[in-house]
Structure 1
Amino acid sequence: MLRKLIFAVLFLLLGMSVETALAASGAHQHGGGGQEPSFNHCLKPENSPSLLCANVPTPHIAPDGSLWLIWTEHGHVYVGHRKNPASGSFEKISRITKQARQLDINGESRPKIAVGPQGDVYLTFTAKGEKKYTGVVYFAQSQDGGNSFSVPRKISDEERPSSQRFATLGVNKQGRIHIAWLDKRDLFTAKKAKNNYSGSAMYYAFSDDRGNSFSANKKGMDHSCECCRTAMDYDLDDNPVIIWRHIFGKNFRDHAMLKIKADGTPEKMERISEDDWAIDGCPHHGPDLSISASGMRHVVWFTDADKRSGLFYAHQQKQGGMFSAPMGFGNPDNQAAHPQVLSVDEILYIVWKEFDGEKSSVLLIQSNDEGQSWSAPIPVATTKGASDHPFLIKDDKGLYLSWATAFEGWQLFTLAQR
């Protein structure tokens, strides 16, 4: 059981500062483990790589418990690895791209990394496309444990890829790789035919041969919102469930969920909530999903509808069942944003970011009963500068917060130990 976080909450109730509470609970902060001379270091491409300069760093803990981190810097994609997530320097940093590219590096459309059951390392990143607001998703793999990587190649099976962005990546226990993304090919086809088409579409592909080849691109659903992150987790039968912001009706931009069956075909799309947010634009604020050991699906999202506004959580007891009533969390006056949810054993955690006018903070709540009740929020990290989205990751030893800030660079906080 993750006891240390409970101790931190108790210390906060006794009036200790966040820093003191986390220190007393055994929480630790771990950066890249190298010397970071100054911000001037980041202005010179020849000094790369440096985690102080990392754009959109995204972590992943492999089945063997080691930490992998992917980020971009000066038009290149880098991957770092260390055996112990909680401490130490990165033993190896690999540059994936041979030449600098115009990369898509916003917080919603970030590079992703995953490790398969055989120790293969897989990654995706997005380069900007020829047209504005377009991109091309690339995939690369390592079949020698990260010692070397393949030349990145396009995931799209179009003759001339038109727009693939906001990709998510996963590998199941059998080693099947899944990639899902938002794609505008059908929008462009409709425009050429002078037909109406709302948004983009959610597409996906999969590989059963360690990433050497992929299935044909498959359309999961038409009319996704164009520019919010997608998310994926695996159901109890080892098949992926994908969520994204979708356009319902004329222009309600709420959230949808779709499971991919073992034969590679999609099941029926499910609507997560009926916020009825009517907006003719791109919120750049996607949802997140975590499926617990019991099979319950936990989701978090942002909306700014008349019906409800802010951050919300809900769960689905079983596939095809109704979602629970949305539960709001976070302080809308502090611009509460970009939530993430993670199930660990029988405990559920949610983190998000707020700005109080002077500093940005990552806040955390936890539930010990599958989302029926929740603790009071506690701040677990702060910065006075700009910052990236927060991420929760886990291993057999603990719970970690990954967060990159303009002043501190990339950091990994040990929030709790098992």
Structure 2
Amino acid sequence: MKSLNFHRHCAATFLVLLSLVFVALAQPALSAMSHGRALGTTAAFDQQQRLWIVRSEPVDKNAHVVVERSDDHGKTWQPAIRVTAKPEPVSADGENRPKIAFGPRNEIYVSWTSPTSEKFTGDIRFTRSLDGGKSWSAPAVVHHDRQLITHRFESLLVDQAGRIWVTWIDKRDLGAAQAAKREYAGAAVYYAYSDDRGATWRGDYKLADNSCECCRIALALDSKGRAVAMWRHVFPGSERDHAFAVLKPDGQGVAIERVTTDRWKIDACPHHGPSLAITADGARHAVWFNQVNGAGRAFYGRLTGAAPANVQPLPVGAMHADIAARGNIVGIVWKRFDGNATQVESWISKDGGRHFTPGPTLQTEGESDQPRVLSTDSSMLIVWRKADGVAVANLGDASGDDAIKPFTRDTLRKIEQQHAGAEFWVVMWDLECVYCMKSLGNIAALQKQQPTLKVVTVSTDPVGAASDIRQRLAELGVRSEAYAFSAAPEEALRYAIDPAWMGEKPRAYRYTANGSRTAISGVLTAKELAGS
């Protein structure tokens, strides 16, 4: 009997200890939320088109918030500047990371979520510099509500009048509903604004009840210069689609518009917020993640009212997409894991999002943040923080010029480096080749079904015929990175591509993700292009 009691006592003790382990694992320690592998970073341009990032810098169990500036689009960086005098808990993951924005008089504004003492609680913190980053104000809490509850996932925006807008996820209404024993789905979106450069704040204003609890909020300026928000909303029936609203200075008369209709029914945290970009003509370009027909996918579309228009799914596995737009130029980036490495892939459109051409691809085998894309007056940049540093790539020329670039002896090597880790085609052709037209026509037809098909076209005509080459590609509907032979001897350029190529056309090379390539002479068929 003593032996039986002893074994029962040991079993009970083991269960208690095991339960404590599970409880400990379920509690997100503040230190884990504030740094460790938290690589969450935001990028933005100031009034002089200089690139800035804001991130966290771990100190013991807390962190400093720091900013860095690059005057050459990420080639080199100035020394990091701490904006916090004392370290504190800082959320710095992809969906909930520090933010940076700039005022019309070169003010620098920084916000972040600081986790507090209880599970999933936090305060929205803010600091400013009015002298170019030389000095910073003492961090202050934006919201007037001081309950020990969720104030998290903040977003930051400065409008054309210089007003600073901050939105966040807030659970004060959930707490009130629970106290009254009422049902309440999700959390709420609140906002505040400052019209005195961040010295004081007006709010707290409720934008909407029943938001998702764990997804970032997208902020943008519409064509009228108004601050607008897009967020994941819990609609009736637990449908987690997306909503849109204009932020009003008095907090009154806010109208909520449902802008996606994927009808994902789930009681869970998707951890995928949307991204929004609005052009001067009022076009609202957006990317978002939802589950459709049982499969999780990221999508691009233009928000038009009852349902988004021109919806295009991003490649399978695409996550945490971001978007930027300027005029007819639309750039999209996302991250995707291929089984060995994490890839950042991209699209660029020069016709307002109707058609997209694949852009640069980056990759890492280490930890990484979500990618960002942002626009200047002349280019679009991809900014991606990895464990070993910040990678910056030019997504494309935002001027909209479809230039035909000269193909030299070392161009193919550069093309291979640019597209390393991705599948793509290099297609050789010329203006007088009838069979080349059939091959290019098949490419254009497949691109309508698969916008992600990466194609590099190389015309063996001289680059002086660029105008005719550009017109022919446009007539056929081919979207590609386009080249034409430079002034170097044709034999030398053919040899640089493939010593075994004797000049027959059409000629194509299919590159796989591991870097191998296969040569194909003759008209490319749909099956060959599809890889079957």
Do these two structures clear the TM 0.5 threshold for a shared fold by scoring above it?
yes
Q: Which deviates further from its counterpart, 396-405 or 215-224?
A: 396-405
Q: Give the counterpart of 2:338 among 350, 356, 359.
A: 356
Q: 1:54 to 1:246 in 2, by over 3 A?
A: closer
Match of 2:216 among 224, 229, 240: 229
Q: Which residue of 2 aligns with 1:58?
A: 42
Q: How does 1:4-403 map to 2 (within 5 A)?
A: 55-74=39-58, 75-90=63-78, 92-261=79-248, 263-265=250-252, 267-306=254-293, 309-317=296-304, 320=305, 322-324=307-309, 326-331=311-316, 335-375=317-357, 377-403=358-384
Given that 2:379 and 2:395 are in contact with CA atoms closer than 8 Å, whether structure 1 keeps it comes out as: yes
Q: Distance in 2 between matches of 1:161 and 1:299?
A: 34
Ranges in structure 2 where 5+ consecutive residues have no aligned partner:
1-35, 400-532
State the AA in 2 paired with 1:340. D
Change (3 A) 1:193 1:264: closer
Structure 1 distance, partners of 2:193, 2:232, is 21
> CA 1:372–1:325 in 2, change beyond 3 Å: closer, same or farther?
closer
Task: Output the amino acid matched with 1:188.
Answer: G
Q: Is the 8 A contact 1:79 1:93 kept in 2?
A: yes
SS at match of 2:377: coil
- The one-character-per-residue Cα deviations of 1:73-129 (angstroms, maximum 9, x if unpaired) are 211111122333343331x53212233222222210000000010111111011112
**Higher gyration radius (CA):** 2
Q: 1:322 to 1:273 in 2, by over 3 A?
A: closer
The alignment status of 1:414 with 2:399, answered yes or no, reads no
The amino acid of 2:65's aligned partner reads V
Output one character per residue of 1:221-268: Cα deviation in whole Å (capped at 9) or x when no partner.
Answer: 000000001111101111111011110003111111111235554531
Distance 1:290 1:393 in 2: 10
Which range is displaced more, 54-63 or 135-144? 54-63
Following the alignment from structure 1 to structure 2, what is the Cα–Cα distance between the partners of residues 132 and 201? 18
1:286-341 per-residue CA deviation (whole Å, 9 max, x = no partner) reads 11000012110011111124376301111135xx565215321212xxx2101111
CA contact (8 A) 1:288 1:300 kept: yes
Write the distance in 2 (CA, Å) between the matches of 1:416 and 1:170.
25
Identify if the C-alpha distance between structure 1 residues 397 and 255 changes in structure 2 by more than 3 Å, giving closer, same or farther: same
Verify the 8 A CA contact 1:230 1:243 in the aligned structure 2.
Answer: yes
Mapped to 1, the partners of 2:132 and 2:386 lie a distance apart of 29
How far the C-alpha of 1:366 sits from its partner, in A, is 1.9
- More helix per residue: 1 or 2? 2
Aligned residues of 2:219 and 2:227 also touching (Cα < 8 A): yes
Amino acid at match of 1:89: W
Measure, in 2, the Cα distance between the counterparts of 1:409 and 1:111: 17
How far apart, in 2, do the equivalents of 1:54 and 1:413 lie? Answer: 22
**Number of residues of Structure 1 aligned to a counterpart in Structure 2:** 359
Counterpart Cα distance in 2 of 1:240 and 1:275? 25
Amino acid in the other structure paired with 1:389: Q
Tell me the amino acid that sits aligned with residue 75 of structure 2.
S
Range that drifts further, 113-122 or 94-103 = 94-103
Give the RMSD, CA atoms, in angstroms.
2.0
> CA contact under 8 A between 2:331 and 2:395: conserved in structure 1?
no
Q: What CA deviation, in whole Å up to 9, does each residue of 1:188-209 have, x standing for no partner?
A: 1211222221110010111111
Alpha-carbon distance in 1 for matches of 2:145, 2:393: 42
Query: Conserved in 2, the CA contact under 8 Å of 1:275 and 1:307?
Result: no
Query: Does the CA contact (< 8 Å) of 2:39 and 2:386 recur in 1?
Result: no
Taking the aligned partners of 1:89 and 1:373, their CA distance within structure 2 comes to 35
Note if contact 1:66-1:85 (Cα within 8 Å) is conserved in structure 2.
yes
Instruction: Tell me whether 75-84 or 197-206 shows the greater mean CA deviation.
Output: 75-84
In 1: Cα distance, 2:295 partner to 2:341 partner:
26
Specify every segment of 5 or more residues in structure 1 that has no aligned partner in the other structure, as ranges.
Answer: 1-51
Letter in structure 2 aligned against 1:148: S
Is the contact between residue 53 and residue 409 of structure 1 (CA under 8 Å) also seen in structure 2?
no
TM-score (norm 2): 0.64
Q: Which has the higher contact order (CA 8 A, sep 6+)?
A: 1
- Mapped to 1, the partners of 2:174 and 2:328 lie a distance apart of 43
Partner-residue secondary structure (3-state), 1:87: coil
Q: CA deviation at 1:397?
A: 3.3
2:385 corresponds in structure 1 to 404
Matched letter for residue 88 of structure 1: T
